[in-house]
Structure 1
């Protein structure tokens, strides 16, 4: 997550990002996610990659129910909320400045009987990883978190820490620049990677990654 300044004269195509909320229906629930671009920038709006990730989770191609999941760079928390509604026990993470906003969205959109299945927690990639169990998650989720080159190495360190040889990583992203394909190349050096879904309308790719067996003891 990067905190970016608010720009009044934004492109019309970005106007929806300045709305105070975004509404969706996933997992048979109506969701209303608060947005606050002016205060938190990219961390506080729902990006297309998150929507496509939720669509993919609903397809049932990856087992979610009963799994331990963690969402990285969660922003508004949409993906983690939907994963919880689909039956996962979810740790939803972002950097400290976004946590109050993120927690409010989680509380507002999860029914009381699902509140206990979600924990909101601070995570800056590559830092304080010992607070999270090594290889302790079945599913790692990230929507539109591949865009700042300076974060690529700590993001990879974080993925390696969180994943066992049975963990599935799902990353939803646009491929905007060469640096994005560079990240995929870096990821392929440590994980098996395959594209499992493409939303042509939104130009969003979903990549599934997992550790090859020979890295499990490294």
Structure 2
């Protein structure tokens, strides 16, 4: 797909040949210019006019989703949303989209999670990590200390009490800190995260953690809601110093779980 845009008389070229990145067995659009991707996502995709929270009910105590051969039940704590800075107590569309993307990619043979090591960053309620375990991965779900109780409960219900093909463990992680050997030895095959690019202040620590987690074998999938173009552009420009980045076209997502408000990126270490 060829796209270009004009701003103040200047043409922004966002056309690059599609390539494969890491262990994802489909072609993605390489991101060579942060401004070009921002143009694509905001000017062409127009996220602000799409309905938010299309796949979630954040006022509910539970979210149920048929995925990975199971009905996944995610406990939410909507009351926690009143606490400043707490966003991981409920599900967001990007987590649903990423979960169903992983399921679809495995079903179509574009991704192999069976037996792989997966680390989830900013797990929140833990849907994505639980789904990866149900798809056969050995998953370590991570978040801040005050988020672990809810996370452990959802892992217990959806992985440990079921006949999951893989496994799941919960681990405390503050971005930017030195990582425990549990996370890095051996290095993960995949790192996943939804809505982890949310503020410029968190970008440096997030990238520090991604660099520590990444080896030549590691493929990173990040899904995020398109709320702030400046924050995403800041992340992309900083990430491109150490990572190759690809944008996953929505034609590769699960057909019933696509949203103009969400983007999925693939990153591999240079």
Aligned residue number for residue 117 of structure 2? 68
- 1:36 equivalenced with 2:36 (yes/no): no
- The equivalences for 1:126-165 within 5 A come to 126-131=176-181, 132-133=183-184, 136-165=187-216
Give SS of 2:174's match: coil
Give SS of 1:43's match: coil
Distance verdict in 2 for CA 1:125–1:115, change over 3 Å: farther
TM-score by length of 2: 0.69
Deviation at 1:130, TM superposition (A): 4.1
Aligned residue number for residue 263 of structure 2? 205
Determine the C-alpha separation between the residues in 2 that align with 1:76 and 1:92. Answer: 10
| Structure 1, unpaired ranges of 5+ | 1-12, 213-218
> What do the CA deviations read for 1:69-106 (whole angstroms, capped 9, x no partner)?
00000000000000000000000000000101100011
> Structure 2 residue aligned with 1:54, among 94, 99, 104?
99
- 1:102 equivalenced with 2:179 (yes/no): no
TM-score by length of 1: 0.85
Determine the C-alpha separation between the residues in 1 that align with 2:166 and 2:158. Answer: 13
Determine the C-alpha separation between the residues in 1 that align with 2:93 and 2:260. Answer: 7
| Structure 2, unpaired ranges of 5+ | 1-51, 251-256
Distance verdict in 2 for CA 1:112–1:25, change over 3 Å: closer
Determine the C-alpha separation between the residues in 1 that align with 2:66 and 2:249. Answer: 20
Distance verdict in 2 for CA 1:77–1:210, change over 3 Å: same
More helix by share: 1
Aligned residue number for residue 21 of structure 2? none
Determine the C-alpha separation between the residues in 2 that align with 1:130 and 1:104. Answer: 22
Q: Greater relative contact order: 1 or 2 (C-alpha under 8 angstroms, separation 6 or more)?
A: 2
Determine the C-alpha separation between the residues in 2 that align with 1:116 and 1:196. Answer: 26
Deviation at 1:184, TM superposition (A): 1.4
Distance verdict in 2 for CA 1:200–1:81, change over 3 Å: closer
Deviation at 1:128, TM superposition (A): 3.4
Distance verdict in 2 for CA 1:157–1:25, change over 3 Å: same
Comparing 89-98 and 59-68, the one that deviates more: 59-68
Determine the C-alpha separation between the residues in 2 that align with 1:30 and 1:84. Answer: 14
- 1:123 equivalenced with 2:152 (yes/no): no
Give SS of 1:46's match: coil
Determine the C-alpha separation between the residues in 1 that align with 2:78 and 2:121. Answer: 19
Comparing 155-164 and 195-204, the one that deviates more: 195-204
The CA RMSD measured in Å over matched residues stands at 2.1
> Structure 1 residue aligned with 2:141, among 92, 115, 125?
92
- 1:184 equivalenced with 2:218 (yes/no): no
Q: Does the aligned pair in 2 maintain the 1:139–1:169 contact within 8 Å?
A: yes
Determine the C-alpha separation between the residues in 1 that align with 2:137 and 2:239. Answer: 25
